Amino acid sequence: MKACQQHPAHGTTPGPRIVRLMTALCLHAEADLRRISLNPAQAVHALRLRMKKLRALLFLIRDMIPQAKMQRLRTLIRQIKNAFAGRRDFEVLQKLVAAMRRRHGLSPLRLPAASGRDTAAAAAKALAIARGRTLRLLRAVGALRLEDLTPQDVLAGYVCCQHGCRRHWKKCAAGDDAKHLHRWRKQVKHWYFLSLALGRLPQTRKNVRAARKLGRLLGQVNDLQMLEAHLSDAAAASWQRAIAKEMHRKKARLFAIAARALHLPRRRLQRRLRKEMRRLAGG
């Protein structure tokens, strides 16, 4: 996501560059779908990552295009990202179960199969649908007109994203349920990818590391919650204790990192970024 890094520091319009970046992500997604039969795990991971980057970039242009068009873009991105989610979730749970058994000495845990409909015909159909949606997404991105997008608009979108992370952190710290943790996790992913995209500014470059740590911990908490939902009654007690212990440890680290990384309120963050932008432009 380096194509956006020059925008905040210079007076040029970032809109066309963002369109080119989004187009490149769509083309890479097409390549991921072509190689999915050769290396499914790697291709699916790369595909999902590109869709998450696209979804994050929508934060920067959300006020520049009609709501109906924005909704169509979000829907296509979500459908492509989730096209092979069942296979990915099953593999994640398998690895987590093995790690938990080694760490806590737990009894074996039987997981439900990935999908009873995971046949060759179903996989081929899912792949064909994903390819069609990726082509539609590519055309929709190519039709975007963002010439009026300014560096200030980009910074405003970034500030809004980080403020959302701060807001969800406060809600989770006050009483973290699964819904708030899920929303916080999605927002942190957006924040991470946008920090990469605007990484020439000292503050956003600093945020990359914090967002990566938060995203990793939130992903681990999400996986533990997903595993807890698959527990059977026979194994529930010992596994629930182990999951609760892991949750407590990870959330303590999660909130400590968030307190350091998200302490700036919205207006102070905006002033700092504008100051850095002017300094970088003048240097």
Q: Is residue 7, in this structure, part of any structural domain at all?
A: no
* pLDDT of residue 142 exceeding 90: yes
pLDDT of 113: 60
Residues 119, 234, single domain; the answer is no
Across the range 21-40, mean pLDDT stands at 93
Q: Which of 149, 173, 207 is the last residue of a domain?
A: 149
pLDDT of 72: 95
Is the Cβ–Cβ distance between 228 and 240 less than 8 Å? yes
Say what angle helices 236-261 and 85-104 make with each other, to 10 degrees. Answer: 100
Q: Is residue 5, in this structure, part of any structural domain at all?
A: no
Q: Is residue 236, in this structure, part of any structural domain at all?
A: yes
Residues 120, 181, single domain; the answer is no
Q: Which of 106, 129, 149 is the last residue of a domain?
A: 149
Residues 282, 206, single domain; the answer is yes
CATH of the domain at 237: 1.20.1440
Here the tokens at position 82 are 């989730």
Host domain of residue 93: 12-149
Q: Is residue 4, in this structure, part of any structural domain at all?
A: no
Q: Which of 122, 149, 176 is the last residue of a domain?
A: 149
pLDDT digits (tens, 9 = 90+) for 84-112: 877 677 778 888 999 999 999 888 887 76
- pTM, entire model: 0.84
Residues 124, 174, single domain; the answer is no
pLDDT digits (tens, 9 = 90+) for 182-205: 999 999 999 999 999 887 889 999
How many domains are there within the chain? Answer: 2
d(CA 42, CA 283): 41
* pLDDT of residue 6 exceeding 60: no
In terms of Cβ atoms closer than 10 Å to its own Cβ (0-12, 13-18, 19+), residue 38 is exposed
